[in-house]
Amino acid sequence: MANSARLPGDINRNDQILIAKTDRPGNDHLQFVWIVVCARRDADDELCGHRYGSNGSDFFQRKCPKCQGGAPGLHIEEWNAG
C-alpha cells in the first residue's frame, strides 16, 4: 500500500472524515479504497453519517454521494458490519 500523509481522523474541505485505509484496490491507477464517513449536518443539525469508499487520490475533494451529490462510493460492505 502506498504511503500518504493523511491519517484516520483527517477531514477534507467537504466535511468528509477518513476513518480507515484498506489494502483493497481502488478503481483508480495504483489506488486503494479508503473508508470515509460524511460529517455534514443538515438544516436541522442532523448528521448525515453516510459511510462509503473512496480512492485515496480522491479524498481531498470528495463529496458525500448521499447528501452532497458526490460520485457513488466504492464498495465497503464488509467494513460496514462493525
Domain span at residue 23 reads 16-80
Domain-located, residue 28: yes
pLDDT tens sequence across 52-65: 999 999 999 999 99
Q: Is the pLDDT score of 32 beyond 90? A: yes
How many domains, in total, are found in the chain? 1
Domain-located, residue 6: no
- For the entire predicted model, the pTM comes to 0.87
Domain-located, residue 64: yes
CA 29 to chain centre: 17
pLDDT, averaged across the chain = 92
Domain-located, residue 5: no
Domain-located, residue 4: no
Q: Which three cell numbers stand for residue 40?
A: 455534514
Q: Is the pLDDT score of 82 beyond 80? A: no
pLDDT for residue 77: 77
pLDDT tens sequence across 7-30: 999 999 999 999 999 999 999 999
Q: Which three cell numbers stand for residue 32?
A: 486503494
Domain-located, residue 30: yes
Helical residues (DSSP H) of 1-82, grouped into ranges: 77-80
Residue type, 54: S
Distance in angstroms (rounded) separating the CA atoms of residues 78 and 82 = 8
Residue 20 burial (C-beta neighbours within 10 Å; 0-12, 13-18, 19+): middle
